Amino acid sequence: MDLEKKDWAIIILAILAVASIAGNGVLLILPNAPTAPDLGIVLVFGTSDGPADLDPMDAWDSASADVQDQVCEGLFGYDLTDPNLKIIPKLAADYGVWSSNNYTVELRQDVWFHDGTKFDATAAKWNFDRLAYLMEHGLAKAGELFEYYVRTDVINITTGETAAIMAPIINRTEVVDDYTLKFVLNTPYGAFEPLLCFNAAYMVSPTSTPFDDVLDTASGDLVGTGPFVYDGYEAGVEIRFHAWDYYYKPRAKIDTLIFSVINDAQIRNNALLSGDIDFLDDPTPAMLSTFDAEPDIIREQVGISLSVQYLGMVNYWINSTFRKVISYAFNYSFLIHELMQDQAVRLKSNIPNGITYANDSFNAATYNVTKARQIMQSMGFGASLSLTDDAAWEASTFATFNYTYNIGNPIRENLLILLRANLGAVGIEVEDAGTTWAQYILSTYDLAGLYREMNQIFWLGWIPDYNDPSNYVNPEFTNRSTASNGVIYNGYLSAIEAGRDPFDINDNVQLLMEAAILNTDPVSREAQYDRIQQLLVEEDMPWVFGYTGKNNDCYNKDLAGHPGNAMQKVYFYPCYWKLPELYSQ
* 365 band by pLDDT with thresholds 50, 70 and 90: very high
* 452 band by pLDDT with thresholds 50, 70 and 90: low
CA pair distance 346, 365, nearest whole angstrom: 11
Single out the residue of 549, 204, 141, 487 nearest to residue 342, CA to CA. Answer: 549
CA distances from 508 to 492, 494, 501 (A): 6, 8, 7
Does the pLDDT of residue 451 top 60, yes or no?
no
What per-residue confidence (pLDDT) applies to 463? 81
> Which residues partner with 229 through β-bridges?
242
DSSP state of 23: S
Own/partner contacts of 333-336, CB < 8 Å, gap of 24 or more, are 333/367, 334/418, 335/415, 335/418, 335/546, 335/547, 336/547
CA pair distance 257, 228, nearest whole angstrom: 8
Does the pLDDT of residue 4 top 60, yes or no?
no
Average pLDDT, integer, range 158-183: 85
- The alpha carbon of 332 is separated from its chain's Cα centroid by a whole number of angstroms, namely 24
State pLDDT tens for residues 478-523: 876 555 677 889 999 999 999 999 989 999 999 999 889 888 888 9
Least confident of 23-32, 46-55, 399-408, 461-470: 23-32
- The alpha carbon of 441 is separated from its chain's Cα centroid by a whole number of angstroms, namely 14
Average pLDDT, integer, range 100-121: 97
303: region left, alpha or beta (phi > 0 left; psi from -120 to 50 alpha): left
Amino acid at 88: I
Largest distance between two CA atoms of the chain? 88
What per-residue confidence (pLDDT) applies to 442? 62
**Are the C-beta atoms of residues 226 and 210 closer than 8 Å to each other?**
no
Rg (CA), the chain: 25
Name 438's Cβ contacts closer than 8 Å, sequence gap at least 6.
Answer: none
Does the pLDDT of residue 60 top 60, yes or no?
yes
CA pair distance 268, 532, nearest whole angstrom: 39
CA pair distance 378, 385, nearest whole angstrom: 12
DSSP 71-88: H-B-SEEE-TTSTT--EE
CA pair distance 198, 144, nearest whole angstrom: 12
Least confident of 136-140, 229-233, 412-416, 552-556: 136-140
Single out the residue of 553, 251, 315, 465 nearest to residue 473, CA to CA. Answer: 465
Own/partner contacts of 31-34, CB < 8 Å, gap of 24 or more, are 31/246, 32/246, 34/245, 34/246, 34/251
Number of residues that this document lists for the chain: 585
CA distances from 418 to 192, 330, 334, 402 (A): 41, 8, 8, 14
Average pLDDT, integer, range 564-582: 92
Q: List, in sequence order, every beta strand (DSSP E) within 436-567.
A: 457-462, 543-556, 559-560
* 372 band by pLDDT with thresholds 50, 70 and 90: very high
CA pair distance 85, 65, nearest whole angstrom: 17
Between 22 and 528, where is the model more confident? 528
Does the pLDDT of residue 436 top 90, yes or no?
no
Q: Residue 285, SS3?
A: helix
**Are the C-beta atoms of residues 553 and 305 closer than 8 Å to each other?**
no
Domains of the chain: 8-279+557-584 (3.40.190.10), 308-548 (3.10.105.10)
Handedness of CA 70, 76, 79, 85 (dihedral sign): negative
Our CA dihedral for 17, 21, 27, 33, rounded to 10 degrees, sits at 40
| Mean pLDDT of the chain, nearest integer | 88
What per-residue confidence (pLDDT) applies to 304? 87
CA geometry: angle at 135 spanning 131 and 140, to 5°?
80
Single out the residue of 94, 98, 173 nearest to residue 131, CA to CA. Answer: 173
